[in-house]
Amino acid sequence: MPTRVEKSDAEWKEVLTPEQYQVCRRKGTEPAFSGKYAFTKDPGVYVCACCGNPLFDSDTKYDSGSGWPSFYQPISPDAVTTAEDRSLWMTRTEVLCAACDAHLGHVFDDGPEPTGLRYCMNSVALELKPR
């Protein structure tokens, strides 16, 4: 389990860009096809933009056609947590950083093998650490 990172709302506002704050702390979403990692194929590890917790390996990234970076599994089972999201008049599964509870995106069950999952993430919530 990653080390917990706790900050006040004011502290998050000091260290995040306005867009990162809106997406990661207020559960916003960046527009499809606008994020810096939507089409990136560079090798490395994607970490949480808020706290640096390792989240996804580039080896599990694929082009889902959704306009957001998509992965078929997290880097480890305890890297992320999920919660029910009933916003926008539907039920979805929200994906959160297990260390700081940053909103990362959502997970859907229409992904490729071997997991059948599509972790649809916001680029602004991620930072790619190159290999």
Residue 121 has pLDDT above 80, yes or no: yes
Question: Can you list the alpha helix ranges (DSSP code H) found in 21-67?
Answer: none
Domain-located, residue 74: yes
Domain-located, residue 98: yes
CATH number at residue 99: 2.170.150.20
Burial 21-46 (b: 16+ CB within 10 A, else e): bbbbbeeebbeeeebebbebeeebbb
**Which residues make beta-bridge pairs with 115?**
none
pLDDT at 89: 81
Q: Give the span between the Cα atoms of 131 and 119, in whole angstroms.
A: 21
Gyration radius (Cα) of the chain, Å: 14
Domain-located, residue 4: no
What are the pLDDT digits (tens) for 79-97?
999 999 988 788 999 999 9
SS3 35: coil
Number of independent structural domains in the chain: 1
- Tally Cβ neighbours within 10 Å of residue 47: 20
Domain-located, residue 1: no
Domain-located, residue 104: yes
For residue 26, what are the CA distances in angstroms to 9, 36, 59, 105? 10, 20, 29, 12
**Which residues make beta-bridge pairs with 129?**
45
pLDDT at 18: 97
What are the pLDDT digits (tens) for 33-49?
999 999 999 999 999 99
Query: DSSP code of 11?
Result: H
pLDDT at 1: 75
Q: Give the span between the Cα atoms of 120 and 106, in whole angstroms.
A: 5
pTM metric for this prediction: 0.95
Does the annotation count 50 as an active-site position? no
Residue tagged active-site, from 24, 48, 100, 120: 120
Domain-located, residue 39: yes
Full residue range of the structural domain in which residue 92 is found: 9-130
Domain-located, residue 3: no
Domain-located, residue 99: yes
